[in-house]
Amino acid sequence: MEKRDRITGGFYGLLIGDALGVPYEFYKADQLPAYEEIDMTPPAGFKKTYPQVDVGTWSDDGAQVLCLLDSLLSRKGFSLDSFSDMLLAWYEDGAWAVGNKVFDVGVQTARALHAYKGGLPARECGMLNPEGKGNGALMRVLPLALWHEDRKKLVQDAHLQCLITHGHICNQVCCALYCLAAKALLDGRDAHEAIREAVAGLREIYRDMPEYERELEWSIRPGLHGRGMGRAMWWTV
């Protein structure tokens, strides 16, 4: 498979997967239809999460991915201010939302973008909730992995893109690790190899970044085999 095909597949897979999940959002696993019945149009009798949303519509996840891609292409690289402006355009005007309609936004994201509109620097907006940990930065970060060749720059920008909405260091480290794994998949590694390569690469990059190194090893803990953790599942690398 050509690299261009992998990049295209990454974007299509993300947007289609996002749209597929929209009707089932917020349901518990035991409340969902059987696996073989899950489709863009849920089976008869299942109450869609957003009944007003058309079939095949991606959510804030997909829209923010496209905001990041748009910013990368227009600026020929990552700019936190440009990306933050794009997110605000999405939130207020529906930029990159299907039909320009925003039907869902996280509480922390909304609060951060309100602050950004009010003049707070983008680097500070994601820390309005100092302990705010969530997937709001992770869900949108894939374009960076498909853009960068330099892994150190990829990690740096993965950190930076968090700051506008989810600035906690844990979010930054998770986004960096995800990007390195996605980059390895793009380069043709299988899933297990990609994770091993991502962890090893991030450990190398973090040797001169003790705060980030501590967060990786003590919060994410990729090398923990589950000793003393009961039935908890941990990566083994």
| Contact predicate 164/112, CB 8 Å | yes
pLDDT tens digits, one per residue of 54-104:
999 999 999 999 999 999 999 999 999 999 999 999 999 999 999 999 999
CB 200 within 8 A of CB 181: no
Integer Cα distance of 165 and 83 in angstroms: 11
- Closest by CA to 159, choosing from 185, 181, 178, is 178
| 49 touches 27 (CB < 8 A) | yes
Statement: residue 3 has pLDDT above 50: yes
Domains of the chain, first to last:
1-58 (no CATH), 60-191 (1.10.4080.10)
pLDDT at 224 exceeding the cut of 80: no
| Confidence tier at 226 by pLDDT (50, 70, 90) | very low
Contact 68, 75 (CB under 8 A): no
| In the predicted structure, residue 237 carries a pLDDT above the cut 70 | no
pTM of the model: 0.92
What is the distance between the alpha carbons of residues 179 and 195, in angstroms, rounded to a whole number?
A: 10
Q: Per-residue pLDDT for 12 more than 50?
A: yes
- pLDDT above 60 for 234: no
DSSP state of 54: P
- Angle of CA points 86, 91, 94, to nearest 5°: 85
| Angle of CA points 82, 85, 86, to nearest 5° | 90
pLDDT reported for residue 231: 35
Is the model's pLDDT at 214 over the cut of 90?
Answer: yes
Q: Check pLDDT > 80 for residue 227.
A: no
Average pLDDT over residues 199-221: 97
pLDDT in tens, 117-175: 999 999 999 999 999 999 999 999 999 999 999 999 999 999 999 999 999 999 999 99
- Across the range 107-118, mean pLDDT stands at 98
Amino acid identity at 120: L
Instruction: Report the pLDDT value the prediction gives residue 1, as an integer from 0 to 100.
Output: 81
233 pLDDT exceeds 70? no
